[in-house]
Each structure stands twice: as C-alpha cells, then as structure tokens.
Amino acid sequence: MVVVVSAMSGETNRLIGLAKQISDLPDERELDVVASTGEQVTVGLMALAIQAEGGRAVSFLGHQVRILTDSAFARARIQDIDGRLITSALQAGKIAVIAGFQGADRDGNITTLGRGGSDTSAVAVAAALKASACEIYTDVDGVYTADPNVVKNARKIDRISYEEMLELASLGAKVLQIRSVEFGMKFAVPIHVRSSFNENEGTWVVPEEKAMESVVVAGVTATKDEAKITLPGIPDRPGIQAAVFRPLAAAGIVVDVIVQAYIQNGRTNLTFTLPSSDVARAQDVLAKHCSEICPPEHIKTDVNLSKVSVVGVGMRSHAGVALKMFEILATENIHVHLISTSEIKISCVIDAKYAELAVRALHDGFGLAEK
C-alpha cells in the first residue's frame, strides 16, 4: 500500500499567507520552499499514526522518491517518478507514505504542483508503480449526476469515463483535480473516488466502455460567477480576434466561450465569457489596447451569468441531444445567451438566477435519476 497525503486543512493557505506578509508577489521558488512544508508535516505525522496503530510505515518527500518536475514553480508538471525507493519500502513490508503536491526539478529545487496537486501526485505515483487502482479519499461519496445540494434525486455514478470526468471537472464539479484525471487517462490508472467517512463504494473513473455509450448524458453541472463581454460592430477582418485576445492573455485573463456573429457591412459582434472577477481588469485592458477596434464606451458587459452543461460520451452516437437541451430550457423560459459544444458536452450560458432551475430541469429531462 502506498499513501499520498495532502496538507492539513487551511495549512497551505496559512503558509502562503506568511509569504504574502513579506511580499505581495513573492518569488515562486521560495514560495514553493515554504508551501511544500504543509505536506512534509502530514507525511511524517501519517507515518507516525500508522506506526501507532501497529503498522510499519516510512515517509517520502517529493525529492526523495523522486518526483521529477519541470521548473515552473507553483504550477510544476510531473515529468517522471523514480519508483525504486517506494518499491523497496513495499518489499520490506512497509507502507510508503508520500508527500503530495510537491516534487523537485532537475537541479533539486523544491517545486509544487498548484492547487489540488495532491490528487495529481497520487495518480502519478499509481501510474509509476503500475498500481491496480488509485483511490481518492474526499468529503463526498463519489461523483454525482448533478450537485446533490441542488438536485435532490441526483444519483451517484458507479463508473464514468476519463473524458466525461475531465469535462465535469473543468465545468465545475470539484471532486477531482483536472490534471489528476488527465494523468489517469494518459496512463490508464483506474481512479476510485470515495468518501473518507464511510466504506461505501464510490465512483470509478475508467477508460470508456461500450456500456457507457448507451447513456447519452452522464451528468449535469453548472459554473457560477461567469460574465460576458461583447464588442459590437467591430471590423470583420483577419487578425481581429488575435488583436483582442492577445492583450487579455498577456494580462492573465482566461477567456472561455467565444462567439462571433456576422452582422453586415463587414462588421461583426465578438462576444466572450470570463470569470466575473476579471471583468474590471478586462475592461481596462481593452480600453488600453483595443480602443481603435472598439471604443470603450461601446463595450457591453453582462455579469451574473452561469454556464450549465450536460456531459456524456453517448452524445457521440446519439443525435438531437443539443436540441433536447434547448427544448428543456425553453420550457422553463430560460434565455440562452451563448452556446458552446464539444464532442461529449453541450454548454449553455444563462442568467445565473436560473442556474439551479436549469440543472434540475435538465437532470429530470434526461432521466438521470434512473440508472
């Protein structure tokens, strides 16, 4: 058995807070040195706890095992794991307790993987050891067809494909860190998401199976705090999108759904969504860099939006899913601002006040409560 642990609740925030007291924008190499101590403490305590229960355990830090990452401090990516130390601990009959969230680059600098990085560490270690499965212990029983706080009859999903889980994770279901699912998919590690508080079977995240295709929609999810910015009547010429999105990207503003609608006379409306918290900054950037394309006073913003999505690999072989989604929303008189689709997902941007109603209606309409 190999255990990967994260920091104690609130500890990573406390450590980052210490650094932020010194500098608003602390050097990320040093920030990682400080932040990685959260997992170093728990890995030692976990080994002690196992020993106190009569087990044999030994702890390993990221640089010890060694979890090799690139040098992108605070958001490093795992490149390789040397499983030899872990394997010899296992062969000696010990439980290996490994610090999540952390690694070391080629020069031995301490790195961290960013928020939720311990999930990624766990799946990466499981992949390196060719483990039969990686169990993620969390505060919920598994992945549900919708947020059980919103939809009373939401059902725990027994098995879900990596692709579906990726879409759900990126669309607001916070059960698993996206990169951990990517890792699981890349190395075909079955991930079992389950509760820390009971022995119930949770949700298995696994490669796509034939049976999954008969289920058109696996889950419904909604994000909050979305906003929309529209640049009306801008020139419809090559490079115009790049001219708008380059300065936004340079300012670190992540744009989500983008829609461009042709009007007339070589002019077009460009609309995109972004987190509400970035709207003011985006307006500044556009006023500074794009005033020739669109005068600042013409720019329209719309906050208090939500993105509701249905996800399922069955969409690949079933037509009419989008149509059904629009019909369900129309029945509830919910206006759809923007639409975005992928092979296994349809998202609609709507007014935030209708988000919970939409999730419930879609959950019912697609019959997700029944297995």
| Nearer Cβ to a second copy (7/294) | 7
277 touches a second copy (CB under 8 A): no
What is the closest distance, in whole angstroms, from the C-beta atom of residue 72 to a second copy in the complex? Answer: 17
State the nearest-atom distance from the C-beta of 45 to a second copy, in Å: 6
Task: Give the range of 23-31, 256-264, 270-278, 339-347 binding a second copy by CB under 8 A.
Answer: 23-31
Within the chain, residue ranges assigned H as helices are 11-22, 28-35, 37-52, 62-65, 84-91, 117-128, 162-170, 178-187, 240-250, 279-289, 321-331, 355-365
* Of the residues 3, 5, 31, 68, which one makes contact with a second copy according to CB under 8 A: 31
Under the binding rule (CB under 8 A), the answer on residue 49 touching a second copy is yes
The span from the CA of 347 to the CA of 83, in Å, is 41
Supply φ then ψ for residue 207, to 5 degrees: -60, 155
- What three-state secondary structure class fits 223? strand
For the segment 125-144, give every residue that binds a second copy (CB under 8 A): none
10 Å CB burial of residue 211 (0-12, 13-18, 19+) is exposed
Task: Phi first, then psi: give them for residue 165, nearest 5 degrees.
Answer: -65, -40
End-to-end Cα, the chain, rounded Å: 33
| Residue with Cβ nearer a second copy (34 or 129) | 34
Instruction: List the x/- string, 71-110, binding to a second copy by CB under 8 A.
Output: -------------------------------------xxx
One residue of 2, 43, 67, 308 binding a second copy per CB under 8 A: 43
Contact yes or no for 35/57 (Cβ under 8 A): no
Contact 6, 137 (CB under 8 A): no
Smaller CB separation from a second copy, 31 or 124: 31
Taking CB under 8 A as the binding criterion, the range among 11-19, 150-158, 175-183, 205-213 that sits at the site for a second copy is 11-19
Work out whether 26 is an interface residue with a second copy (CB under 8 A): yes
**Which tokens go with 27?**
């050097």
Cα 100 to Cα 106: distance, rounded to the nearest angstrom: 18
Q: How many residues bind a second copy (CB under 8 A)?
A: 33
Identify which of residues 59 and 138 has a Cβ nearer to a second copy in the complex.
59
- Where does this chain bind a second copy (CB under 8 A)? 15, 18-19, 22-23, 26-27, 29-34, 36-37, 40-41, 43-45, 47-49, 51-52, 58-59, 61, 63-64, 108-110
